[in-house]
Structure 1
Amino acid sequence: MGFTVVTLGSQIADEGVALLREAGATLVATAAYPPKDEMIAMLTRHRPEAVMVRLVKRIDEDVMRASPSLKVIAKHAVGCDDVDTAAARRLGIPVMLATGCNAQSVAEHALAVMLALVKDLSRQDAHMRAGRFDKSLYHGRELRGMTLGLVGLGQIGRGFARMAAAIGMKIVGYDPFAPDSAFEAPVARVRELDTLLETADVVSLHCPLTDATRGLIGRREISLIKRGAYLINTARGEVIDEAALAEALASGAIAGAGIDSFSVEPPPATHPFLRLPNTIVTPHVAGVTDDAKREVSLQTARNVLAVLSGAPPDRRYLAN
């Protein structure tokens, strides 16, 4: 069968492209972060049966209506805060996610950042490059015996928990939406976010961006984090009050932070996280290792093909 797939926000990886072409797809793609009028024009011109979404600011009902043939929207990601899922539901268009495909990569990234922070690697590297071979400047600690507090117990949080437990950390988790099965050993469930913040030596965020989680770690919550603890965010920048966190980092109330996502991306050059010596910052890459890109690309393509085949959407990947 012949069909058209438009990718909004640059094309997916070659493996997914090949899978779609083998099935008879004609593929068209925009550059990253296309303006709304360009997306509407693209869908109006090509009338695709499927849209794959990568790097965009927002897909709303106007964009969806631009193609009367549209049957599925497939996110090349595990989050869908950039797609109006309610509008898609009204239009009868399933929004599919590549759930779980980059979980291992994100969990490993969180582990790497935690190790770098607690072992003081970034500052030691800077000292060496500046010609200071001085062991008295080292302030690394052991992770063994520390408590890791996970906010969000999906596949990423559970994967990170297993890695941290192997080091000898104690694990506590907060997720009011997760089933009890998510809190099997090594994770102990805490019912209140405040309790986790007050007891964890490392707080790591793994929750999706929703109305409930936007601003979840605000100024009050940051004040509850125990002095000398570390915070890691591989979720979404909007989950944190960035100004309040920057103040806590500058004062030393929080020992360090690993930040992979920002409320505005790319962040301005004046963003305090980019200037604080006790932060490790990465450009929202935790889930885009070569391995993860391949798996996400393939699952995105599979989601398109499954829906266009007429099969009911697989609820494991359905966002709406």
Structure 2
Amino acid sequence: MAFTVVSLGGPVAPEGEEMLREAGVTSLHTGTYPAKGEAVDLLSRAGADAIIVRLVERIDADLMKASPNLKVVAKHGAGTNDIDLAAAKALGVPVLAAVGANAHSVAEHAFMLMLALIKDVRNQDAYVRGGGWDKKGYRGRELRGRVLGLVGIGMIGRALAAMVQPIGMTTIAYDPFAPAAAFGPHARRVDSLDELLAQSDVVSLHCPLTPQTQNLIGVREFGLMKPSALLINTARGEVVDEPALVGALTSGRIAAAGLDSFAVEPPAKDNPLWALPNVIVTPHCGGVTEEARREVSLMTVRNVLALLQGGAVDQHCLVNR
């Protein structure tokens, strides 16, 4: 039986596309962030059996109803906050995610943001490009001896904790849903978010976006952090109250932030974060290195094909059981 897969937001990696071709699957895709009408039209015309979710604002009931043949929605990544899971469940459509496929890549990205901030890379780069060469004004510091606080201790958090240990950082973590074994040899469990915020020199966010974690870090939480603290967000932008973050950065309540995700994506051109010298930003790319994108694509395609063909799907990747 021939199947059609539609990727919303661009194609999967070439290796994934090849896997689909070898399976006899018709693979179609839109450009990044397609208009809803464009996506509905393609899904309807193609009679899509599967949707792969890449760069699209949201997968809602209208999109899932566009094709009467739809059998699965698969996120090209780990986070499914851009998919209406309740609607999928009501429609009987399983939702898959590529859990863990890009964990190492995201952990490295978080580590990079920490180093870039502590070494003042952005400002030093601009200074030299502007003709400067005086080291007396440099105020770079070391991560050695500092405390990393992880909010969430999944695969990404555990990988990051292992990365920073050799340079002399200690790691604490808060995750009320994780068993004791999840903390492993590199992270000490703390009992509350408040405790973690007060103790950490670097706070790195690795929790999913849920109603409970939306705006988890706001005015009150910034007030608990050290004035010298760095905030790293490679999770979801909505976990942080963005206006509160701007206030904390401009007032000196915290020292700096490294951000790979934002409350609205793509962010507005006049986002006030752009004007701040103590912020480094990247376009939600932490999990899309060449290696990670290939592995995410392969995991996503393998699970989509397994479901369409009646095979075994990795149960860790099945979101709405």
Relative to the length of structure 2, the TM-score reads: 0.97
- CA distance in 2: counterparts of 1:41 and 1:166, whole angstroms: 52
Q: Is the contact made by 1:102 and 1:295 (CA closer than 8 Å) also made in structure 2?
A: yes
Post-superposition offset of 1:158? 0.6
Matched residue SS, 1:288? coil
CA deviation vs aligned residue, 1:128-180 (integer Å, no higher than 9, x gap): 22222222211111211100000011111110000011111010001111121
Code of the residue aligned with 2:95 in structure 1: it is V
* 2:9 is the alignment partner of 1:12: no
- CA distance in 1: counterparts of 2:124 and 2:210, whole angstroms: 38
- CA distance in 2: counterparts of 1:253 and 1:35, whole angstroms: 39
Post-superposition offset of 1:39? 2.0
Q: Is the contact made by 2:9 and 2:55 (CA closer than 8 Å) also made in structure 1?
A: yes
- CA distance in 2: counterparts of 1:6 and 1:183, whole angstroms: 38
Q: Is the contact made by 2:71 and 2:308 (CA closer than 8 Å) also made in structure 1?
A: yes
Match of 2:266 in 1: 266
Match of 1:310 in 2: 310
Match of 2:102 in 1: 102
Match of 1:278 in 2: 278
Q: How does 1:142-221 map to 2 (within 5 A)?
A: 142-221=142-221
Post-superposition offset of 1:212? 1.1
Code of the residue aligned with 1:60 in structure 2: it is D
Matched residue SS, 2:86? helix
Over the residues paired in the alignment, what is the CA RMSD in angstroms?
1.2
Match of 2:73 in 1: 73
Gaps of 5+ in 1: none
Matched residue SS, 2:52? strand
Post-superposition offset of 1:37? 2.2
CA deviation vs aligned residue, 1:253-283 (integer Å, no higher than 9, x gap): 2111101111112222221221111111111
Post-superposition offset of 1:238? 0.6
Matched residue SS, 1:254? coil
Q: Is the contact made by 1:94 and 1:313 (CA closer than 8 Å) also made in structure 2?
A: no
Code of the residue aligned with 1:177 in structure 2: it is F
Post-superposition offset of 1:312? 4.9
Once structures 1 and 2 are overlaid, which stretch shifts more, 205-214 or 304-313?
Answer: 304-313
Number of matched pairs: 320
Post-superposition offset of 1:36? 2.1
Post-superposition offset of 1:35? 2.1
- CA distance in 2: counterparts of 1:32 and 1:124, whole angstroms: 33
Post-superposition offset of 1:236? 0.9
Post-superposition offset of 1:27? 1.1
Post-superposition offset of 1:85? 1.1
Match of 2:230 in 1: 230
Match of 2:51 in 1: 51
Matched residue SS, 1:182? helix
Q: Is the contact made by 2:158 and 2:186 (CA closer than 8 Å) also made in structure 1?
A: no
Q: Is the contact made by 1:102 and 1:292 (CA closer than 8 Å) also made in structure 2?
A: yes
- CA distance in 2: counterparts of 1:124 and 1:27, whole angstroms: 46
Once structures 1 and 2 are overlaid, which stretch shifts more, 176-185 or 194-203?
Answer: 176-185
Match of 1:289 in 2: 289
- CA distance in 2: counterparts of 1:269 and 1:58, whole angstroms: 21
Q: Is the contact made by 1:7 and 1:28 (CA closer than 8 Å) also made in structure 2?
A: yes
Q: Is the contact made by 2:158 and 2:184 (CA closer than 8 Å) also made in structure 1?
A: no
Gaps of 5+ in 2: none
Q: How does 1:83-94 map to 2 (within 5 A)?
A: 83-94=83-94
Code of the residue aligned with 1:97 in structure 2: it is A
- CA distance in 2: counterparts of 1:128 and 1:28, whole angstroms: 46
Q: Is the contact made by 2:233 and 2:258 (CA closer than 8 Å) also made in structure 1?
A: yes
Post-superposition offset of 1:43? 1.8
